Structure 1
Amino acid sequence: MFRNKLAAIVCLTGLALSAAHATVRLPALVSSHMVLQRNQPLPLWGWAAPGEAVSVSFLGKTYRATAPDTTGRWQVTLPAMPAGGPYTITVKGQNTLELTDVLLGDVWLASGQSNMQFKVKDSNPNGYQPVQQADQEIAAATWPRIRFFTVSPAVAYQPQADVSGSGWQVCSPATVAQFSAVSYFFARNLWQRYQVPVGVVVSSWGGTPAEAWTSAEGLRHFPEFEARVADFMHKTADIHTDSSLPGGPQMQPTALYNGMIAPLQPLALTGVIWYQGESNVERAEQYRTLFPALIADWRQHWGTELPFLFVQLANWRPTQPQPSESDWAELREAQALALRLPRTGMATTIDIGDAADIHPHNKQEVGRRLALAARHVVYGDAKVVSSGPTYVGMTTAGPAVRLKFAHTGAGLLAKGGPALQGFAVAGADHIFYWATARLAGTEVVVQSSQVAAPVAVRYDWADNPTGNLYNTEGLPAVPFRTDTWPGITSGKK
């Protein structure tokens, strides 16, 4: 028995000594089965003992770094390489780490709130309902060159160095149910189109506002957040039990950026897909500047003009019988205004929502429309029609208004026609009335017998509108208004 105890002590001592020397470690994102970004310089990083020499071997070449004496955080940058794999990466310091089954392809960051978090089929009985035809989708999900890393929810007062998460998971019927549904259908569309490996890092949290996903630097031009950010950054209490945080820590400006976005840098990316806005609806006017600030903020921190593709909020709530004001319409308008930024794209989902469920189940079409935006903005497919008709101008002639559109594709149509629906006009009194509308080639002519001198037109300006203007490629017209009159969220911070 003594010999057995001695052997056990020796074994444990050896393990302890081994652990003491095993000083090289990698962030959660850098692991086996990962996808690295093709055709870009590739930063790989980790931590080691201060002053420790570290080498990274990949495809027959070795890259070296020395851990700084201050932080121990080392980094190497591999040269740009084409898509391919699987490969092995070996990291050596006092210990050796081997990463296997590594692919080179396109890496996307998927973020936002619950409609991005929404899984293909949630195992939690209290979670979101499955996507439509979930079981068939799961059974067919053998796509070994699609990989997902799902970041665990995390909040922090200050930017963090690492995340926890699912690890890189290879897409299969055994894993896909827990993937973000929008992200999965987006990735599948891209793989089927380009046959390039796709990696998706999903960092999302339901019910959260845009300011929580923005850094302190990104919010510096918003005086309404200044005091909250300053106070938040200097807190020392346990963030998870701090009762002074209204709505919970995940609702605080910078909290999710610090815990779930900052630690992902400097991972090389193809771009970002974003589905968020529901939690900012009551401050839609503010979102007109807040959302572009978030985009600029992430681009600043990554040091590159990341393509940024986003989903415009779907239709929801009961349909109203008369034209009325809508904070949801104002938020959609704020989202569309972000298209003024370069390298952006938007998937309009005004026709695939659910009046009774803020989490519509047709995530397949959301992913497809995001992929169309990616094909145009990122992959340079000039021929693809990636948007529905978009308002660009109007002229008036008596009681009639003629509307001009871009992104008309091969032509306009009234889906389910023959009559167009969803248009309203107003005169100088700002009172809107439903209008009759007809197609005139790639334009639309609208008028109302109740408005002799129209000055403004609105289309699908409602929580849950009924418009049916499409292009022949099957994409719905982007909701719009021609006026700039103050909305119901005007001045709200």
Structure 2
Amino acid sequence: MKQLLLVSCLLSLSAILGLPEVKADVRMPLIFGNHMVLQQDTRITIWGWADAGENIEVLFAGQKVRTTANADGTWQVKLKPVKTKKKGETLTITGKNKLVYSDVLVGDVWVASGQSNMEWGIKVRKEYADDIAHSEDSLLRLFFVPKNTSLQPLSEIEIPQGTASSERAARWVLCTPEMLAKINGQGFSATAYYFARDMRVANGRPLGVIQSAWGGTRAEAWTSLSGLKQEPALAHYVAAYEKNVKDNPEILATYPQKQKEFDTAVREWDQTIGKEWNQAQKEWAVAVRAAQADGKPAPAKPEPRVPRPPNPRKPDGGNNGPANLFNAMISPLIPLSIKGVIWYQGEFNSGGSAKEYATLFSRMITDWREKWGIGDFPFVYVQLPNFEPVDQEPSVEGNGWRWVREGQLKALSLPNTAMAVTIDVGDPFDLHLVDKYDVGHRLALVARKLAYGEKVVGMGPLYKKMSVKGNKIILEFTNQGKKLMIGTSPYIPEGEQARPKPTKLTGFGIAGTDRKFVWADAVIEGNKVIVSSPEVAEPVAVHYGFSNSPRCNLYNEEGLPASPFRTDHWE
């Protein structure tokens, strides 16, 4: 009885901590499979589990590598770099048993992660239907990581009970209209698909995209606990986690059940209140437009309570507990050889901790690179778009989205990072903007520039420096392409007419020593922008698009918008 009890306890602990099952056969992570893509032109890491001391042989693309499983049953080999292979190869792993994976390509592997605007499936909107119908591409492979959380880093992907389209989760599939539309119940990530489609056209390489995203999630949940520990300013996340574990030793035992209950509550909310909320938001948008047309205050936005687990800052905080998503949805992918990451997140960090995002986001990027151990791989991300009714002031106090955008702008100081600016394609009345095409297209542009060295203008203008001349401030930019220009959004919502071409720069605010910003006049002279206002005789600072939903229109000739920015450091 004691032996049976011990085995039962070990199996329970393995399930909680993500340890490999006790099996004699060679076992591979779910990230390996038929139709997968392996990363070209770099050492290819292959790993798995077996009996301690078991001899393992790996065969792929003419290479044969042998190793012996470690005392804990883990093993790993590295293959020499392999060039592009558009014809499927066979990957064979042999120990006491043999595993054979067919139709394995060699190309580029990108991880697509973040919150709802990365998760948002391509089947959700009717606007994507034609693109789905024409999506067949045998050299584009898709992999969906199901939503899951864990208090400890997992070594394997888990497929929780109730996962949508579980038969398509955690396995590689060819990009076909059927698969693209059915993965995850709502379809594969629209943002990731449009990125992938552009990349396939640009360089023709086989491409594997791994979707690992969850709506309504915070960046600290996507950062490892050891990573959070390295930044003193983020110590409060670590402290909350460790205190809760210490004070509540039953957490490891009760966490899976609590998470199951939370997941059930969210699904029920989505099917009932969530649908009513969507309709209420549409009605609110109509009311706001009517109020603005009449010069009246906008009505209050409907804010139903979304179910959240208790104490979301503590480790039993479901999908927002510190490190919980890194542990369950990123850790199992490591050390897969990858080309880079595309990322779209930040909305859920725009509350009271928005100013912290500059520190948190940079730490998360660095943490992933440290954990992967393959150097500073390309990390390409989306800067948050415009959202909520157009701001009437040049700088709105307490506005969270501007701080998140600034944090994303600051992350460009990290090596091998690039940012897709989307300040012009958001929907003021819908957090989930329809125009995922331009988001994916701009991610692909910056990736082509950053990761592949293509001679393209990947980003819009970025503020470089300023100087004061009399009552004017002169602004200079990088990424200006051939020239700066006044532009318009490429996205025209269904049912609306194309906007008239603007003749005046908008979105600029200017302030003197009193630090009070007023709308400014701005003109393009050569490759500089001259900003002034008759209300400010001695200007000292400029804001551009520095609010939740600015109306701004500075572009480069390539049609890419300038990032919002500020020249001061007053807050």
TM-score strictly above 0.5 = yes
Alignment of 1:36-55 (within 5 A): 36-55=38-57
Which residue is equivalent to 1:318? Answer: 389
d(CA) in 1 for partners of 2:311, 2:26: 37
Residue type of the partner of 2:135? A
Determine if the alignment matches structure 1 residue 359 to structure 2 residue 432: yes
The aligned length equals 458
CA contact (8 A) 2:357 2:403 kept: no
Residue type of the partner of 2:55? A
Which residue is equivalent to 1:268? Answer: 337
d(CA) in 1 for partners of 2:538, 2:118: 44
CA contact (8 A) 1:32 1:100 kept: yes
Per-residue deviation, 1:232: 5.7
Determine if the alignment matches structure 1 residue 405 to structure 2 residue 477: yes
Which residue is equivalent to 1:387? Answer: 459
Residue type of the partner of 1:293? R
Determine if the alignment matches structure 1 residue 144 to structure 2 residue 138: yes
Alignment of 1:9-408 (within 5 A): 23-69=25-71, 71-84=72-85, 85-122=87-124, 130=125, 133-164=127-158, 165-177=169-181, 178-220=187-229, 221=231, 222-231=234-243, 235-242=251-258, 245-246=311-312, 248-282=317-351, 283-303=353-373, 304-323=375-394, 324-325=396-397, 326-381=399-454, 383-408=455-480
Secondary structure of the corresponding residue to residue 175 of structure 1: helix
Indicate how the Cα distance of structure 1 residues 197 and 231 shifts in structure 2: closer, same or farther if over 3 A, else same.
farther
Residue type of the partner of 1:109? V
Secondary structure of the corresponding residue to residue 478 of structure 1: coil
Indicate how the Cα distance of structure 1 residues 301 and 239 shifts in structure 2: closer, same or farther if over 3 A, else same.
same
CA contact (8 A) 1:394 1:401 kept: yes
Identical positions, percent: 44
Deviations 1:383-442 (A, max 9, x none): 210111111111112221111111110111112231111111111111111111111011
Residue type of the partner of 1:74? W
d(CA) in 2 for partners of 1:77, 1:245: 43
Per-residue deviation, 1:24: 1.2
d(CA) in 2 for partners of 1:27, 1:453: 63
CA contact (8 A) 1:157 1:232 kept: no
d(CA) in 2 for partners of 1:258, 1:239: 14
Secondary structure of the corresponding residue to residue 515 of structure 2: coil
d(CA) in 1 for partners of 2:133, 2:155: 37
| Segment of structure 1 superposing worse, 204-213 or 412-421 | 412-421
d(CA) in 2 for partners of 1:32, 1:97: 11
Per-residue deviation, 1:469: 0.7
Deviations 1:109-131 (A, max 9, x none): 11111011011114xxxxxxx2x
Residue type of the partner of 1:316? F
Deviations 1:151-170 (A, max 9, x none): 01111111011004330011
From 528, 553, 560, the counterpart of 1:443: 528
CA contact (8 A) 1:155 1:239 kept: no
Which residue is equivalent to 1:13? Answer: none
Indicate how the Cα distance of structure 1 residues 355 and 412 shifts in structure 2: closer, same or farther if over 3 A, else same.
same
d(CA) in 1 for partners of 2:219, 2:135: 32
Secondary structure of the corresponding residue to residue 199 of structure 1: strand
Per-residue deviation, 1:363: 0.8
Which residue is equivalent to 2:280? Answer: none
d(CA) in 2 for partners of 1:476, 1:59: 44
CA contact (8 A) 2:400 2:548 kept: yes
Secondary structure of the corresponding residue to residue 220 of structure 2: helix
TM-score by length of structure 1 reads: 0.90
CA contact (8 A) 1:21 1:95 kept: no
d(CA) in 1 for partners of 2:81, 2:245: 37
Deviations 1:355-407 (A, max 9, x none): 110010111111111111111111012x2101111111111122211111111
CA contact (8 A) 1:403 1:445 kept: yes
d(CA) in 2 for partners of 1:60, 1:306: 27
CA contact (8 A) 1:240 1:249 kept: no
Which residue is equivalent to 1:125? Answer: none
Write 1 or 2 for the structure with the bigger share of helix: 2
d(CA) in 2 for partners of 1:440, 1:233: 60
Per-residue deviation, 1:21: 8.3
CA contact (8 A) 2:40 2:106 kept: yes
Secondary structure of the corresponding residue to residue 239 of structure 1: helix
d(CA) in 1 for partners of 2:408, 2:192: 19
Gaps of 5+ in 2: 1-21, 159-168, 182-186, 259-308, 488-500
Per-residue deviation, 1:49: 1.9
Per-residue deviation, 1:449: 1.3
d(CA) in 2 for partners of 1:101, 1:216: 37
| Segment of structure 1 superposing worse, 185-194 or 47-56 | 47-56
Secondary structure of the corresponding residue to residue 360 of structure 2: helix
| Segment of structure 1 superposing worse, 247-256 or 134-143 | 247-256
CA contact (8 A) 1:56 1:90 kept: yes
d(CA) in 2 for partners of 1:62, 1:238: 45
Which residue is equivalent to 1:417? Answer: 502
Per-residue deviation, 1:233: 5.9
CA contact (8 A) 2:23 2:50 kept: no
Gaps of 5+ in 1: 1-19, 123-129, 487-493
Secondary structure of the corresponding residue to residue 133 of structure 1: helix
Secondary structure of the corresponding residue to residue 359 of structure 2: helix
Per-residue deviation, 1:146: 0.7
Residue type of the partner of 1:172? T
Secondary structure of the corresponding residue to residue 184 of structure 1: helix
d(CA) in 2 for partners of 1:339, 1:196: 27
TM-score by length of structure 2 reads: 0.78
Per-residue deviation, 1:174: 1.1
Secondary structure of the corresponding residue to residue 190 of structure 1: helix
